[in-house]
Amino acid sequence: MPGEDRFEQERQRMVDLQIAARGVKDSRVLAAMRSVRRHLFVPLSFRDSAYNDSPLPIGSGQTISQPYIVAVMTELLRLQPGDRVLEIGCGSGYQAAILGTLAREVISIERLPEIARMARENLSREGIGNVTVVVGDGTLGYPERAPYDAILVTAAAPRVPPPLLEQLAEGGRLVAPVGSRDLQELVRCTKRDNTIDREHFGGVVFVPLLGQQGWPE
Ligand code: SAH
């Protein structure tokens, strides 16, 4: 495909300058970010901006997250190759593709059917076969496949939804942006001996998590 070489170069620069230079060290995360073709997950009209240091619109008022934030959240999850992962807020499917590259199986929930359809198309174009996109309210989790070794919330939550903590395996990690509708803090919850250890990382801005255990629709 014409232009693939240019995208490849832009992607390697993205990882060098936006991600590795800012302190992301996990070599598996860096390798996944080097391999997944982010330009396949943005609308055609934004392809030339796919490797910019910013989120981009994907339609229906939603966004694909900034590459650096995708890398930071993925690193915080400490994924192992055998892990089963749940993502809330599939959006473009890009974050799910990164998770699928690093783990055994990913379930990604999206509340908007038209966005879920687009994510499935993007994932199949990229040849990612271990991600299942489910339409529904992800604030309730997905008990059918629980427990999960890792859970990632990629929309702004007023609090960590309790059903997600219940569906976390022993030793499991959950990462979520928690705070107000305008500004959140990254939180990592780790389940050990049935207690939850909470750590806080930097400030972030995500679109709202809408649903029963999120913001009212
Ligand atoms: N992970 C995405 C970016 C997330 S954008 C990517 O890689 O592109 C946040 C997404 O969360 C939006 O698509 C929005 O529709 C979805 N969302 C919001 N509330 C949700 C809920 N309760 N359950 C599932 N998805 C939700």
2 C-alpha to ligand 1 centroid (Å): 31
pLDDT tens for 60-82 read 999 999 999 999 999 999 999 99
**Which atom of ligand 1 has the smallest separation from the CA of 64?**
8
Instruction: Say if residue 2's pLDDT is above 70.
Output: no
Q: Which residues contact 87 (CB under 8 A, 6 or more apart)?
A: 95, 96, 99, 106, 107, 108, 109, 151, 152, 153, 154
Question: What pLDDT digit, counting tens, does each position of 181-214 carry?
Answer: 999 999 999 999 989 999 999 999 999 999 999 9
Q: Is the CB of 68 under 6 A from ligand 1?
A: no
Classify residue 182 by burial, with Cβ atoms within 10 Å: 0-12, 13-18, 19+: exposed
Name the average pLDDT for the chain.
97
Cα 33 to ligand 1 centre (Å): 20
Question: Does the Cβ of 95 fall within 6 Å of ligand 1?
Answer: yes
Q: Which two tokens stand for residue 170?
A: 């022993």
Cite the active site residues.
Answer: 65
Tens of pLDDT, residue by residue over 21-65, are: 999 999 999 999 999 999 999 999 999 999 999 999 999 999 999
Predicted pLDDT at 126: 98
CA of 21 to the centre of ligand 1 (A): 28
Please tell me if the CB atom of residue 109 comes closer than 6 angstroms to any atom of ligand 1. yes
